[in-house]
Amino acid sequence: MEKNKTGKYLKYAIGEIVLVVIGILIALQINNWNENQKEKDFTKKLLLDVKISLPNNYAHLNFVIDYNEKGIKSGEIILNHLKKNLPYHDSLDIHFSKAIQYSTPKIRNIGYESLKNFGLNRLQNDTLSKAFNDVYNMGWIETLVIRQENYFFNTASPILTELFQTVAMRTKMKPFEYEELKRSRKYYSILNTMNSYRKDQNRWYSDILQDIIEIEKKIDEELKNQ
C-alpha cells in the first residue's frame, strides 16, 4: 500500500514538474515574441522617419541640379558670345557671375542615422540596406566639394580678379576690359572647366534622385513585410 502511494506521489510530482517546465517555456516564448514585436515596431518607426525625410532630400537635390544647370547655361552663353566675337552688352554681366556659380548637396537624414545605429542587419531587404549606403554614405561628394573649392579659390579666382571689377556669385560681374577678356585663354579654360564639373556632378546627382525614388518603394515593401 505504501509503495503504491509513493508511486502515485512520484507520478504526481513529475507531472507538476513537467507542467512547470512547460509553463516556463511558454512564458519565455511569449516574452521572445513580445521582444521581437517591439523590435519590429521600432524598426517600422525608424523606417517611417527615414521616409519622411526623403522628400526634403529630393527637393534639395533638384534645387542643386537646377542651380548648376543655370550656371552651365550662362557659361555656354558667354562662351558662344566670345567665340563669335560679339560686342559687349551689360546684359552679359549677370551671366559672367552665373557662369562661375555652383552648388553641392548636403544630404542628411536623422532617421537613417538612427536606423544605422540600431542595425541595418535587422532589415529583411538586403537591397534596401545597399540603397541606403549608396545615398547616405557618399564620401565622394565631399571629395567633389573639396576639388571644386580648391579649383575655384586657388586657380580660377586669382585669374578672375584680374579680369573683372568684382568676382561674386548671384550678382553681376563687370569686366575691366572686354577685349582683353575675349583674348584670355585662361578665362576660356575656367568656363570650360566649371561647366565640365557641373555637368559631371549633375549626372551623378540625377542618379541619386532615382535612388531616392527606389528607396521609398523599398521602404514600403519592407514595412509590409515587418
30-88 pLDDT, tens digit each: 766 666 677 777 778 888 888 888 898 899 999 999 999 999 999 999 999 999 999 99
What is the value of pTM for the model shown?
A: 0.79
Task: Give the span between the Cα atoms of 73 and 65, in whole angstroms.
Answer: 12
Residue type, 75: G
Task: Give the span between the Cα atoms of 164 and 170, in whole angstroms.
Answer: 15
Show the cell assigned to 64.
542643386
100-125 pLDDT, tens digit each: 999 888 877 777 777 777 767 677 66
Answer yes or no: is pLDDT of 1 > 60: no
Domain boundaries, the chain: 47-225
Answer yes or no: is pLDDT of 95 > 50: yes
Task: Give the span between the Cα atoms of 183 and 173, in whole angstroms.
Answer: 18
At residue 13's C-alpha, the angle toward residues 10 and 17, to 5°, is 140
| DSSP string for residues in 77-119 | HHHHHHHTTPPP-GGGHHHHHHTT---------HHHHHHHHH-
User: Under 8 Å CB-to-CB from 64, ≥6 apart: which residues?
Assistant: 103, 104, 105, 205
- Per-residue pLDDT, averaged over 151-170, amounts to 94
